Amino acid sequence: MIQTQVTQTARQILTETIILAKARKDLSFAEIVDGTGLSEAFVTAALLGQHPLPASAAEVVGQKLGLSADEVTLLQSMPVRGSFADGIPTDPTIYRFYEMMSVYGTTLKALVHEKFGDGIISAINFKLDIKKVEDPDGGHRAVITLDGKYLPTKPF
């Protein structure tokens, strides 16, 4: 699909519809993703308005959630990305990621540049994974893998 959104409004409304349908049907994101052929992280991000879904995946998701044909079409459009509407996030979970980048962002930048040279880590050619593991000291730990392609800065 070559359609793109120009504001976040339509996708935000669709996200609210999706979250309500997910709750009504008592589905996990993993259950919704099953049969799409895509990762749980990618489809979840798409359902939250951050990516377009391929038509086949949008149809699978739409059928599971009872979405209309227009909503399935909207899931395939290229969204206006970004979830920080106005500055510092206030949701505690999202804020902790913001805090992690505030504390470790310069460390990550320094280590990326030392190991790879001048460039960036792509968020386009990217993979994300999250696992829940046992903590030897009790409780659980979150293991989050951010896997992006390195793109060197090229002189011109």
Q: What is the DSSP string of the chain?
A: ---B-SSSHHHHHHHHHHHHHHHHTT--HHHHHTTSSS-HHHHHHHHTTSSPPPHHHHHHHHHHHT--HHHHHHHTSBP---S-SSSS--SHHHHHHHHHHHHHHHHHHHHHHHHH-SEEEEEEEEEEEEEEEE-TTSSEEEEEEEEEEEEE----
Q: Which of 24, 81, 96, 141 is catalytic?
A: 96
Q: What pLDDT does residue 72 have?
A: 97
Q: Which of 24, 68, 83, 99 is catalytic?
A: 99
Give the pTM.
Answer: 0.81
Q: What pLDDT does residue 129 have?
A: 95
- The stretches in the chain having pLDDT less than 50 are none
* 81 carries an active-site annotation: no
* 68 carries an active-site annotation: no
* 96 carries an active-site annotation: yes
